[in-house]
Structures are given as C-alpha cells and as structure tokens.
Structure 1
Amino acid sequence: MTYETVLYSKDDTGIARVTLNRPEVRNAISETMQRELRDIWDDVRQDNDVRCVILSGAGHSFCTGIDRGEAISEDNTDAMARGDFPGYPTPWVFDDPGRDIGPKSRDCWKPVIAAVSGMACGGAFYLLGEVEFIIASDDATFFDPHVTYGMTASFEPIQMLAKMPFQEIMRLSLLGADERMSAERAREIGLVTEVAPRDELMERAEWAAGVIAGAPALAIQGTMRALWAGLELSRQQAIEIAHYFTRIGGDADALKEGQARFASGKRPEWRLR
C-alpha cells in the first residue's frame, strides 16, 4: 500500500511496520498524515494476519507533533488570539486533530510497539499515549513545547498521564521547550521500557514484535483489553470483569498447544532486559 506521508508494510510473520515519513519536517503530522494514519489503523484492525505493529519515524526524529506551519495560518493565529476559533460556530465545537492519529482512537486493538529515536514532542504524544510500550534509542528526547509558544497543553499531556507519573508530565508540560527529558530519564520513570543504541533500536523492536506476533492472537488481544480496562477502572471494577476477558480471550486449541509445550519441558531462549 502506498501513502504520501507514511510507509506501511506487512510481512508473513504477522508484523506490520508503520513509519512516519516526513523527515524534512521531523515527521510533523499534516492533515494528509492524519488521514493516512486513520486509514492504516483501520486496515490493521481488520486484517487478521496482522498480529503486532512497529511504529517509528523516518530520519532523525520520531515525530514533532502537529505541523504548525500547515495548521495555523497568520489569519487563524490572529483569530485564535481573540478567542475565535475559525470554522467553529461556538466554543463548544472543536475537532481535535489527534482523534484519528492513535490506534485506540480508531478502535484498533492490536499491539503497537513504538521505536522512538530523536525528538518526540507535542502531538507525538497522541501516538505514544496509545501504544503498548516504547523502546527508545539513546539519543531520544521527550518534551512538550505548547506553553512556550502560547498554547495550552491539554490533549497531549492528558494522553501521557497513563504513561508517566503526574509530576513528571506536569513538569514536562510547564517547562515547555526549555527542558527535554532524556531517554534514560524516561526509562527511569517507566515511560520507556528499554533504551538501546540507535543502530540497535529496530532490532530490539523487531525481536519483541516477533515474540508477540508468534503468540495466540486472541490471548494477546484479550490481555491488552484487560490491562487497558484495568488502567481506567478502579481496581475492584477491573477484577470484577477480569473473568470475562479470560473467558472471551480463551482459545481451546491454543491453550491445549501451550500446555503441551509446557509439559514437554521446552522453554524459550529468553533475553534478560
């Protein structure tokens, strides 16, 4: 499949690769990219052969957010300064530009691993807030420049509340472009699960995606649903519905095969992280 701003491919191992491909603007998200990501997540959702996705950025950065050069003309900026959002009849009508960018926003419940190198900032958090986990290169940095340039940071840091401690995303949001979080600090706080040399980043992501794609799809997706629900519900509510996820996510053949594998004494050649 050919797109203007995103590289999208699938292979026979069950892995799809989605690469933001506007390196000349550090993969800033244009309206075209929004539409193409929407279509790609819809395709991933409907293709039973896709079991895991690796999301990355071409060139030197992962993504630098919404393309401000395209999104805000001089006329629009003047109007917004007056409290008038062009094209909307009242203050209660607003189309969030991130509504089509992330997989969960498109009801796509396939595992997505983000492989982040270089800058990841602002609107990049629409994507990172909806992935299963992040692997970063040692040169990755995270920041949110909204307040530096006179804008309220809201949608993006709210997305990241599920990924970062409150005071960390608050600091990142309030300090704007004046401070960047390193990959190592991101790992320390749990935003990033692993930091790799840049030339090893995709190998690490490919390995993890291969393990996930090789597991029973129903069990993987059931596990995802359970954990995302547990993130948003109270503990007791999540425990109450856990048995539904277990029942729905159960596949008799996969369970039988898995138990036979365990009984055989064979164990995976595991990695230590």
Structure 2
Amino acid sequence: MSDTPLVLRHDDHGVTTLTLNRPAARNALSQGMLRALHDAFADIASDDSVRVVILAGAGPAFCTGHDLKEIRAAEYSRDYTEALFSDCAELMQAIVDLPKVVIARIHGIATAAGAQLVASADLAVAADDSRFATPGVNIGLFCSTPMVALSRNVAPKHALQMLLTGDLIDAATALRFGLVNELVPAAELESATLALARRIAAKSPLTLAIGKEAFYRQAELPLAEAYAYTRDVMVANLEARDAQEGINAFIDKRHPVWCGR
C-alpha cells in the first residue's frame, strides 16, 4: 500500500483546499478516497478557522467517478457495492450539510460521481476546456446516485439528456445548463477560484452557515412552508451579534468586524 495520502489539505487564511490525489487514476473514487474525503470534511466541520473549502483534483482530471477496476476486483460483491454507494451518499450529504461554503474547481473532466461532486458543491468554477458527463448508461450502469445531485442542479430535461445519452458536454454547455457558475481560462483557474473563495470568506462565518443551511432546507419545502421557515430563520439571524454589527457598520459607513456569533 502506498503512503501517499488520497486527499491533500492546504489551509490559507480561512480557505482550505482539498485535493483528490490519485492523479494516475484520474482521481477515480476508490472506497478509500471516499472515506478519506468524508473524514476531511468532518474535520473541517468543527474547525472554526475554515470558512470556505475548495475541492480540486491533482493531475490531468478533476474526477472520473467510481473506480471501476476496484468494483471488478471486488467481484461485484453486493456487500461491497452497498457499502461503496452508502459511503458515496454520506460524502455528498456531508458536503451539503457542511456549515462552510464548498467550491468545486474543475479541470480536465468530471464524469459520473465526479460530476456528482460538482453538483453537490455549493458553487463551481471550471476551466473553459473542461468537460462533463454522466456516462454510466454507456456501460450498462445508470448513473442513479449522481442523478440525485444533478437533478437538483439543472433543469430536468438537461439532466435527463446527460443521463440518457452519457455524452460528454463541454464547459460552455455545463455553464448553460447551470452545472457550473463560471468559466475561466485554464491558466487562471486556481487564482480565479481562490479569489471567489476569499470574497466569500470575508463574510460572517455565522451568516454563511445560516444561509447555506436555509437555502437547502427551504428548497425542499412547499412555498408557504418555505416562507414560514425562512421568516423564523431571519428573526433568529437578527438576534446574532454579526447581523447587528453588519447593519450598524452599513449605517455608520464602516467595515464590519465579525465575531462569528
């Protein structure tokens, strides 16, 4: 077994970059990598120094999805596949539940569960020559779990087009579909993503956590319930020191000083 870590972590003034580190395998999601990523997000969840997470990939690709060689080596064992897809689901939910903003930084290709990572992230910045696909249908294994995140990010017909054809789409199409937020030249991908992360990291960490949680919760509610829920969120938010500091700073024409409470 190699001692090389499956996930690399770099901290920089409130912005943490997690890098998938199986470049020779184009960052295919082995069970070990899924668990290493889940552990990394669990550590970050309780780390008050982290405000924004950038999720990136080492080598020529962002992530090509599940490790098919590992699945075959396990002889398609039901016990193994149940554990594998449970680990994957727990990771994707951990990204959504994380009280920090997660930005996917995509280069090369993001396919299958790699595209699922992109869709599960809160924001996504992609190189303008990157490509995306949910190609499971091409090998007889429909991308059913990636479909969960994909269908919550893009319009139904766009999601079904990707899922039913398995075709690679270019970065411009991914932007049009709403799978990514921004396209930049490949040479500027790292700096552009970091600049976005730093803009967000400058906000109140409490407010970011409140807003992220509320966004995902209200999206699943009927309209009237969504308004009732977000009303209560705003009332509670206004009792926080950061909200009062932010309003006072705005009125007084000064920069706010956040305390995270």
Q: Would you say same fold, with TM above 0.5?
A: yes
1:3 Cα deviation from its structure 2 partner: 6.5
Map 1:219-258 → 2, pairs under 5 A: 219-250=207-238, 252-258=240-246
Q: 1: distance between equivalents of 2:233 and 2:72?
A: 44
Distance 1:74 1:16 in 2: 34
Match of 2:178 in 1: 190
| SS of the residue 1:224 aligns to | helix
User: How many residue pairs end up in the alignment?
Assistant: 252
Please say if 1:27 is aligned against 2:27.
yes
Given candidates 139, 143, 148, the residue that maps to 1:153 is: 143
Q: RMSD value over aligned CA atoms? A: 2.3
Q: How far did residue 8 of structure 1 move?
A: 0.8
SS in 2 for 1:87: helix
Tell me the TM-score normalized by structure 1: 0.84
Distance in 1 between residues matched to 2:163 and 2:6, nearest whole Å: 28
Corresponding letter in the other structure for 1:71: I
Is 1:166 matched with 2:166? no
Which runs of 5 or more residues in structure 1 are unaligned? 77-84, 268-273
Q: Aligned equivalents of 2:244 and 2:9: distance in 1?
A: 35
Q: Give the Cα separation in 1 of the matches to 2:115 and 2:131.
A: 12
Contact conserved, 2:41 with 2:95, CA < 8 A, in 1? no
1:143 aligns with 2:138: no
Q: Which amino acid aligns with 2:21?
A: N
Unaligned ranges ≥5, structure 2: 256-261
Q: Is the 8 A contact 2:55 2:102 kept in 1?
A: yes
Whether contact under 8 Å (2:64, 2:112) holds in the other structure is yes
Deviation at 1:265, TM superposition (A): 4.2
Q: How does 1:76-91 map to 2 (within 5 A)?
A: 76=76, 85-87=77-79
Find the residue that maps to 1:240 and give its secondary structure.
helix
CA distance in structure 1 between the aligned counterparts of 2:200 and 2:127, rounded to whole angstroms: 21
Task: State the AA in 2 paired with 1:125.
Answer: A
Offset of residue 98 of structure 1 = 0.9
Q: CA deviation at 1:248?
A: 3.5
* TM-score scaled by length of structure 2: 0.88
**d(CA) in 1 for partners of 2:143, 2:95:** 19
Asked if 1:6 corresponds to 2:4, the answer is no
CA distance in 1, matches of 2:248, 2:197: 24
Higher helix share: 2
Q: Sort the Cα spacing of 1:74 and 1:33 in 2 relative to 1 into closer, same or farther, 3 A.
A: closer
Q: d(CA) in 1 for partners of 2:197 and 2:101?
A: 8
The answer to whether the 8 A contact 2:237-2:243 is kept is no
